[in-house]
Amino acid sequence: MAKRYDLIVFDWDGTVMDSTAVIVDSIQSACRDLDLTVPDDEMARHVIGLGLNQALRHAVPDAPESMYESLVARYRHHFLAQGQAIPLFDGARETIAELHGAGYWLGIATGKNRAGLDRALESTGLKKYFHATRTADQTFSKPHPAMLLELMDELAVSAERALMIGDTTHDVQMAQNAKVDAVAVGYGAHPPEQLQELNPLALVGDFAELRAWLRANA
């Protein structure tokens, strides 16, 4: 079967790595450290996928501007304390290796910063599979289309030959803004019903289902 796509772009947190709970806990712990209003789980999950500064401004809107630098520092302290123990989702490594072996260009578009993504790629051993990556400190944060536009430009792939895979409405909206097809995964930060409202090309429940969809449709 002829390939429908040349480039497949993954989000990272909540899509490839099972980090949602750690991110939520790190946001909430950072707020407690600084005696700020602690966002509930739903709010903390909703901002996952955004660049860190943007995420914290949404999650803790009543924090004084002068405190955001400290809030970022405390978030990173808590996240890094747990970061090495965060697992990949079951089937993630095998799916990514299979796609790489089949000749797809593979990319990452993530709300992490460059240092954080580089650490994750090194610790998981997945760096060798990805041809290009973009982080929120390199360009505009989701749902702005810049990450996808830059990845497509770097790899000389047109929008109709690219696919975005992510677990948040920010991922799907970014893809739509870039005129790129999107597959949503319902096991991450945003509830499946929120994702479905955006009418992604598909909504899958785990990596086994994603792998089967890609084999049949990508």
Question: Mean pLDDT, 10 residues at a time, over the chain (218 residues)?
Answer: 91 97 96 96 94 92 92 95 91 98 97 95 97 97 97 98 98 98 97 98 98 96
What does the pLDDT read at residue 1? 62
Q: Is the pTM of this model over 0.85?
A: yes
Helix (H) or strand (E) run with residue 202 in it: strand 202-204
Please pick, among 11, 167, 171, 181, the residue that the annotation labels catalytic.
11
Same-domain check for residues 77 and 102: no
Q: Reply yes or no on whether 35 is catalytic.
A: no
Q: Is residue 1 part of a domain?
A: no
Cβ-proximal residues to 86 (8 Å cutoff; 6+ apart), any chain: 17, 18, 19, 22
Same-domain check for residues 142 and 99: yes
Q: Is residue 180 part of a domain?
A: yes
What does the pLDDT read at residue 83? 78
Same-domain check for residues 13 and 26: no
Q: Is residue 48 part of a domain?
A: yes
E strands, 55-180, are 105-110, 132-135, 162-166
Per the DSSP assignment, residues forming a β-bridge with 50 are: 48
What does the pLDDT read at residue 85? 87
Q: Which amino acid is at 145?
A: P
Domain edge (last residue) among 83, 108, 138: 83
Please pick, among 6, 13, 171, 181, the residue that the annotation labels catalytic.
13
Q: Reply yes or no on whether 171 is catalytic.
A: no
Same-domain check for residues 14 and 110: yes
52-64 core/surface letters (b: 16 or more CB in 10 A; e: else):
bbbbbbebbeebe
CATH number for position 128 = 3.40.50.1000
